[in-house]
């Protein structure tokens, strides 16, 4: 149930989270290597792939050309249009150009991707970044893998870090781009629901860097119900009228307000300033005073270096437990259920295989609280 490379057993960081969500789902994906049935229409995962690829290409280009500080909105929009056109045309048998509704979706994606880039540029300009790396692999290539030693042998974790920035003070912040809000909490990390960021940070720390923080950046997405959030209907938004332009601004403002990153950040004033600039809560979901001291009750977790290391230790313990379970062949049907009633089954396409049904004895969710 592990991949093999050069005589080593490997597992990806995302598959570890998948195991934590439901061991049986991991078995179907990694042991049976089954794939969900593909229907020829644009699904959320297709949009996610195109968004992600486009975003990585454009941000990589901004870094390669060193123009984060100087790029204009018009240049950004042009990059989005060119990149998205290329990505949608090349994606899965031209799926996005198949029918009018698919092309319409691609148009909506363009709007939200343009906004995502504008927000990322604002974030970059607010702080002090010495160097950024995008799509940084670790494991088979790039940075060394994260090693997990158990009584049954050593397993190596691999993956690709969407982005990490080295700040002016030499600390490092890790960012994962997601399509939907991914809450983070110490308990979620302890239970394995949110492990990836801590694995990425561990991989980056092999370069002897001190952590600044780990964050999720949620890409503004047209599958998000913006109608409800902004009070503007998508239909009205897509019309080419003066009124729709004004309504579009309402949506953009809503997106910008939601764009602050959730995560865990070190409470050092210099680090907070180099990540977030003025501390107004627009870059990360943590606000702090002029002297750099954070306010209480921030949405993001603000922790000391010692607390961060303790949370890293909890993540390491969970990773080791998961690896030991996989080595022992534990593949129970045990889907995780979160406090907001979302479960591992919610977006799982394997119900036809596992037949999980709470009406049967022994079929129970594993509840995890934030
Ligand atoms: S449907 Fe639920 S129980 Fe079945 S494999 Fe998927 S996550 Fe596990």
Contact yes or no for 113/55 (Cβ under 8 A): yes
Task: Provide CB contacts within 8 A for 242, sequence distance 6+.
Answer: none
Specify the ligand 1 atom closest to the Cα of 355: 4
Specify the ligand 1 atom closest to the Cα of 28: 5
The protein residue whose alpha carbon is closest to atom 2 in ligand 1 is 345
- Centre of ligand 1 from the C-alpha of residue 56, in Å: 31
DSSP-H helix ranges across 239-359: 242-257, 269-276, 305-327, 351-354
Ligand 1 pocket, CB under 6 A: 22, 24-25, 333, 335, 344-345, 348, 350-351, 354, 356
Specify the ligand 1 atom closest to the Cα of 344: 7
Retrieve residue 62's tokens: 């901004």
pLDDT at 357: 85
pLDDT at 105: 67
- Centre of ligand 1 from the C-alpha of residue 23, in Å: 9
Contact yes or no for 340/368 (Cβ under 8 A): no
Q: Is 340 helix (H, G, I), strand (E, B) or coil?
A: coil
Contact yes or no for 55/110 (Cβ under 8 A): no
Query: Ligand 1, residues 348, 352, 364: which to mutate, most atoms within 8 A of Cβ?
Result: 348
Q: Among candidates 282, 275, 267, 301, which has minimal Cα distance to 370?
A: 301
- Centre of ligand 1 from the C-alpha of residue 362, in Å: 14
pLDDT at 319: 97
Specify the ligand 1 atom closest to the Cα of 334: 3
Own/partner long-range contacts of 122-127 (Cβ < 8 Å, ≥24 apart): 122/282, 122/283, 123/217, 123/259, 123/261, 123/283, 124/68, 124/69, 125/68, 125/69, 126/276, 126/277, 126/278, 126/282, 126/283, 127/167, 127/273, 127/274, 127/275, 127/276, 127/277, 127/283
Report how far residue 246's alpha carbon sits from residue 251's, in angstroms, rounded to the nearest whole number.
Answer: 9
Buried b (16+ CB within 10 A) or exposed e, 159-194: bbbbbbbbbeeebbbbbbbbbeebebbbebbbbbbb
pLDDT at 103: 65
- Centre of ligand 1 from the C-alpha of residue 175, in Å: 28
- Centre of ligand 1 from the C-alpha of residue 22, in Å: 6
- Centre of ligand 1 from the C-alpha of residue 347, in Å: 9
The protein residue whose alpha carbon is closest to atom 5 in ligand 1 is 25
- Centre of ligand 1 from the C-alpha of residue 32, in Å: 14
Report how far residue 71's alpha carbon sits from residue 93's, in angstroms, rounded to the nearest whole number.
Answer: 33
- Centre of ligand 1 from the C-alpha of residue 102, in Å: 29
Count of residues in the chain: 370
Specify the ligand 1 atom closest to the Cα of 354: 4
- Centre of ligand 1 from the C-alpha of residue 344, in Å: 6
The pTM assigned to this predicted structure is: 0.84
The protein residue whose alpha carbon is closest to atom 7 in ligand 1 is 345
Task: Provide CB contacts within 8 A for 177, sequence distance 6+.
Answer: 52, 55, 56, 162, 163, 216, 217, 219
DSSP 30: I
Report how far residue 243's alpha carbon sits from residue 203's, in angstroms, rounded to the nearest whole number.
Answer: 49
**Residue 147: beta bridge partners?**
156
Query: Ligand 1, residues 350, 357, 365: which to mutate, most atoms within 8 A of Cβ?
Result: 350
Specify the ligand 1 atom closest to the Cα of 21: 7
pLDDT at 235: 60
Q: Among candidates 328, 324, 317, 334, which has minimal Cα distance to 23?
A: 334
Report how far residue 265's alpha carbon sits from residue 299's, in angstroms, rounded to the nearest whole number.
Answer: 11
For every one of its 370 residues, what pLDDT tens digit does the chain have, with 9 covering 90 and above? 888 988 999 999 999 999 999 999 999 988 776 666 655 556 666 777 888 889 889 998 998 898 988 999 999 999 999 998 888 887 766 666 655 666 666 777 788 888 889 989 998 898 898 888 989 999 999 999 999 999 999 999 999 999 999 999 999 999 998 877 667 899 999 999 989 999 999 999 988 899 999 999 887 755 445 555 556 665 665 566 666 677 666 666 666 666 789 999 999 999 999 999 888 888 998 888 888 888 887 778 999 999 999 999 999 999 999 999 999 999 999 999 987 788 999 888 888 888 888 888 888 899 998 8
pLDDT at 223: 47
Report how far residue 88's alpha carbon sits from residue 6's, in angstroms, rounded to the nearest whole number.
Answer: 35
């Amino acid at each position: 149930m592990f991949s093999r490379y050069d005589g080593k057993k490997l597992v990806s960081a995302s598959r570890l989270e998948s195991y934590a969500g439901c061991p049986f789902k991991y078995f179907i994906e990694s042991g049976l290597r089954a794939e969900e049935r593909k229907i020829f229409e644009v699904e959320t995962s297709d949009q996610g792939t195109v968004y992600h690829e486009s975003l990585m290409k454009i941000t990589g280009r901004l870094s390669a050309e060193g123009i984060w500080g100087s790029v204009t909105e018009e240049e950004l929009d042009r990059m989005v249009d060119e990149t998205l056109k290329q990505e949608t045309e090349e994606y899965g048998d031209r799926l996005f150009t198949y029918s009018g509704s698919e092309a319409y979706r691609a148009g909506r994606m363009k709007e939200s991707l343009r906004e995502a880039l504008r927000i990322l540029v604002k974030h970059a300009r607010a702080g002090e970044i010495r160097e950024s790396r995008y799509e940084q692999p670790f494991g088979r290539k790039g940075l060394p893998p994260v090693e997990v030693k158990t009584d049954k042998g050593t397993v190596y974790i691999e993956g690709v870090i969407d982005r990490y920035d080295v700040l002016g003070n030499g600390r490092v912040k890790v960012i994962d781009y997601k399509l939907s809000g991914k809450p983070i909490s110490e308990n979620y990390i302890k239970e394995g629901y949110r492990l990836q960021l801590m694995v990425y940070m561990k991989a980056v720390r092999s370069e002897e860097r001190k952590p600044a923080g780990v964050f999720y950046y949620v890409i503004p997405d047209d599958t998000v119900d913006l109608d409800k959030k902004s009070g503007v209907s998508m239909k009205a938004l897509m019309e080419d009228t003066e009124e729709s332009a004004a309504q579009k601004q309402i949506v953009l403002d809503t997106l910008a307000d939601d764009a602050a990153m959730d995560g865990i950040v070190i409470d050092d004033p210099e680090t907070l300033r180099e990540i977030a600039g003025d501390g107004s809560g627009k870059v990360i979901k943590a606000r702090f005073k002029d002297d750099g001291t954070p306010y209480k009750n921030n949405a993001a977790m603000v922790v000391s270096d010692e607390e961060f290391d303790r949370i890293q230790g909890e993540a390491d313990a969970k990773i080791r437990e998961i690896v030991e379970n996989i080595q022992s062949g534990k593949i129970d049907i045990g889907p995780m259920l979160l406090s907001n009633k979302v479960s591992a089954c919610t977006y799982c396409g394997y119900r036809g295989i596992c037949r999980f049904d709470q009406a049967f004895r022994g079929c129970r969710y594993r509840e995890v609280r934030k």
